[in-house]
A and B are shown apart, each in its own frame.
Chain A
């Protein structure tokens, strides 16, 4: 396994300990997604729900020895979330807190908006949503159909209309971020804070083949009122809250999504190790190849995390890591089946679940084809110089 510096290694150890407590519930959550709410007291969920909050708003960060962690950097998140995804991706995605919406609020929110958002998260374990994808346009923000229409009264509420789909925790979230267009052009975008209890806000579950604990759903917005102070970045110049700002935010999120593929792949690999104690030579070689592929991808995405922590606009490596990780999860989980003979998916429900869960990585935060476009664009901009130094020089 790729070596970590002592600070991140300590975080990894804590995450692993907490994550292990989630695993026994994995199949229960798969069968009944609402079981997530019954395990929300576990530290892996409850404690994490109060992290990913910037230092100025979080009086209770995670303290391990002489180190303090807020889980605000991509580098911390990839270490932490690999453990969660390895224990159970469905439960992890169904965790309370603001893992995605909180990043947007941090990037675009005013002081008052951050106090409102993070304050609610800290009050008690609370779920949030991140409503970007749409039924007809996926995560193609440029072509979003959801509209935020300003009120004729400058102090009156704007109104949201549209449909969002594949929104995690849609049915259990109390509030979150909804993305919408306000008009044409590169500045015609808005991210808004929306309370799920607002009239005109409705959700419908979307049952998925895997990661059922994520509780994906569709959100219908029918004249949902948005007060002027709930439009994120209203205090910023339009150029600083528009599409470019969103893309930087998504770059920050992408490594943490990508690492979920590594976590699921590792879970399948470890399942083989645990359940097949005696291996033939060819099987052992195959397992070693799987381990090497996992380690290589992990290294790539840790480099991607370091890159966006250094420069949030440097998302090209994160795109490559995301597509690679999605493929890794599929390959390793499918290959793991080979170790258990015919009917492995029926006889090994946890492994079957891992195969199903692995598919989800492809669809989160942009499909591999979208990531390929990002990689291709990065290539044209010279973002992958053949003679560059090591991607991750801090690791041995």
Chain B
């Protein structure tokens, strides 16, 4: 089947790089910009998560192949995360048909993986500075094991993304990938102890990453090995 529209399947490396270097806000800005200037992309139920400035500057909302101008019907929902705006909108009858920003969720997976790398690097620095008993935490075999688990999971996600073409991964594959990222990030943030649970700390990026997966229905919220057989 011939598909039209902007294919974002190849955009994941860029999203990964921006997220890794600069964090969620810059990466989200880049991801929405990839769909077109002034465009805010909505998930299947009409939700968007964007940096505050992107929400303010938006002049078009896009859901699938439909686009319309934001108006008073757009609701702002509280995310509890400073700098992150959640929008909720319903497609109006006067929406116009446009080329779809395809493979959004594949590009989003690249973004989330970049945040995941960033999280792990921070965790390694953290663990290298802390001790339990007389041993640096990072040198504890149980911590090494936990770190290795995260690294291996990241590698798997990376390999899956590298197998994606310009049209991105198909829906079941990308759903599994996002569930895998959620699981490995949970493992990663556990390395930080309670430090990872403090607002504004490294756990916030994991929280944002999960909210993105939820709003864009980029996979189930549950983790691999969860409750689906």
Contact = CB atoms under 8 A, between A and B. Distances in A.
Interface of A: 133, 136-138, 140, 142-143, 165-166, 206-210, 282, 285-287, 289-290, 293, 330-332, 334-338, 341-347, 355-356, 359-360, 362-363, 367-370, 372-373, 376
Contact of A372 (B142, B200, B227): B142
B45 interface: yes
Contact of B227 (A209, A289, A356): A289
Contacts of B199: 207-209
B92 interface: no
A205 to B, nearest CB: 10
B188 interface: no
Interface string B35-46: 000000001111
B226 A335 contact: yes
Given A209-B203, A342-B214, A368-B190, A334 B44 contact: no
A361 to B, nearest CB: 10
B228 A373 contact: no
Interface stretch (B7-15, B19-27, B94-102, B129-137): B129-137
Interface string B113-154: 000000000000000001111000000101100100000000
Interface of B: 43-47, 77, 79, 86, 88, 130-133, 140, 142-143, 146, 182, 186, 189-191, 193-194, 197-200, 203-204, 207, 210-211, 214-217, 220-223, 226-229
A334 B133 CA distance: 34
Given A143-B132, A207-B198, A343-B47, A367 B86 contact: no
Nearest to A30: B80
B43 A342 contact: yes
A367 B222 contact: no
Contact of B197 (A290, A341, A343, A363): A363
A137 B130 contact: yes
B48 to A, nearest CB: 10
A346 B88 contact: yes
Contacts of A290: 227
Contact of A338 (B143, B216, B220): B220
